Every structure is written in structure tokens, then in C-alpha cells.
Amino acid sequence: MDSISKILDAITAEGSAEAEKILENGKKSAEETFKLYEKEARMDEDDIFEKAEQRAKEIQQRSLSQAGIESRNIKLSARREALEQVFALAEEKLTAMEPKKKKALYEKLISKFSTSQEVTVQLNEQDSGTFGKKLKVEGVNIDLDKACGDFSGGLVIKEQSLETNCTFQVMIENAKKDMESEIAAMLFA
């Protein structure tokens, strides 16, 4: 029995040594696996941070771009408003022109735009009362339209079936197309 006991002790000792060896190899393998995954995790972490930084830069760039667009639109809107104010002021100045100058302007418009010797001129109520039959253009017989126009100033020249709109609103609107860039250059240089 003593020999069986020795054999069992030897098997147990050998098994313990083998278990120790397997355990040691398992620990080494686990450590190597852990180091490998830790290294991969750091690489993934670096990659994630790099992508996050890139994404943050893209968002920042988009925000700056959007802010630039909004700023430009605000400036353009302010410039457009300033231009509209300039043209509105021009209309006010034309409307408030002293009667003698306004009469001369109206006669010049009739002379320039009438194509016949008989014209009917439509004025607004105020100008109709001020000028009445006082408008004179050489070679043109001018009748005053009994119906007053609903416009701030200027006139409408009527000849047979043709009407020429020389109201201040229309003349300024036509001038806008030609002068807008010039006025903008003067205002915003």
C-alpha cells in the first residue's frame, strides 16, 4: 500500500506540476492576449479620437461657412435697403421740386416722348391744379386729361392709342436698372 501511496503522491505531484505549468502558460497567454487587445484598443481609441477631431473640424468649418453666408446676406440686405432708400429719396425730391422746375421738366418730357402734334397729358391731382393749362411745348397742342392719375408725380402722355408713362415711379424704376451698380459703388466703396 505504501507503493500505491507513493505512486498516487507521484501522480498528484506530477499533476500539480502539470497544472502549474498549464496555469502559468494560461496566464502568459492571457497576458499576451490582453496586451494585444489593449494595443488594438489604443489604436482604435486613437482612430476614434482622430475621426472625432476631423468631424469637429468639419463641423466648425461648416459653421464658419454658414456664418459667412449669413453675414453676407445681412450685408446684401442692408445694401439693398440703402439703395431702396436712395431711390425713394429721389422720388421724394422729384415730387417736392419747385413748380417752375417741375413745369420745365414736364414740358421737356412731353417734347421728348410725344410723337404727334396732339397729346393729352394726365397729371396727379396736385400738379393738375398747379399747372392746369400752363404746359406749353412748341409744335404740340396739349390737352389736360380731366381724370387725375394716382401717382406721386410725373405724367402720362396719351396719343391716340399710345400711352407713354413718364411718372416718377416708372422713371425711377427704369433708372434703377442702369444706375444701381453706380450708386452702390458710391455708397459702399
Identify the CATH number of the domain in which residue 109 sits. Answer: 3.30.2320.30
User: Which residues sit opposite 141 in a β-bridge?
Assistant: 118
Are 65 and 150 contacting, i.e. CB atoms less than 8 angstroms apart?
no
In this predicted structure, what is the pLDDT of residue 158? 94
Q: Which of 63, 96, 129 is the last residue of a domain?
A: 96
For residues 90 and 131, membership in a common domain is answered with: no
For residues 86 and 3, membership in a common domain is answered with: yes
Question: Which cell numbers in the block locate residue 6?
Answer: 507513493
pLDDT cut 70: percent of the chain above it: 95
Range of the domain at 178: 98-188
For residues 6 and 91, membership in a common domain is answered with: yes
Number of neighbours of residue 104 by Cβ within 10 angstroms? 12
For residues 150 and 64, membership in a common domain is answered with: no
Average pLDDT over residues 82-101: 88
Which band of pLDDT confidence, cut at 50, 70 and 90, is reported for residue 167? very high
Q: Which of 96, 120, 138 is the last residue of a domain?
A: 96
User: What pTM does this model have?
Assistant: 0.60
Can you tell me which residue has the cell 453676407? 72
For residues 111 and 54, membership in a common domain is answered with: no
* 3-class SS string, 168-189: HHHHHHHHHHHHHHHHHHHHHC
Q: Which residue has the higher pLDDT, 45 or 119?
A: 119
In this predicted structure, what is the pLDDT of residue 108? 94
Q: How many domains does the chain have?
A: 2
For residues 31 and 90, membership in a common domain is answered with: yes
For residues 10 and 80, membership in a common domain is answered with: yes
For residues 70 and 1, membership in a common domain is answered with: yes
Q: Which of 73, 96, 119 is the last residue of a domain?
A: 96
For residues 92 and 104, membership in a common domain is answered with: no
Q: Which residue has the higher pLDDT, 8 or 122?
A: 122
For residues 6 and 66, membership in a common domain is answered with: yes
In this predicted structure, what is the pLDDT of residue 26? 81
pLDDT per residue over 111-154, tens digit each?
Answer: 999 988 999 999 999 998 888 788 998 989 988 989 999 999 99
For residues 2 and 83, membership in a common domain is answered with: yes
In this predicted structure, what is the pLDDT of residue 188? 64
For residues 11 and 72, membership in a common domain is answered with: yes
Average pLDDT over residues 18-46: 80
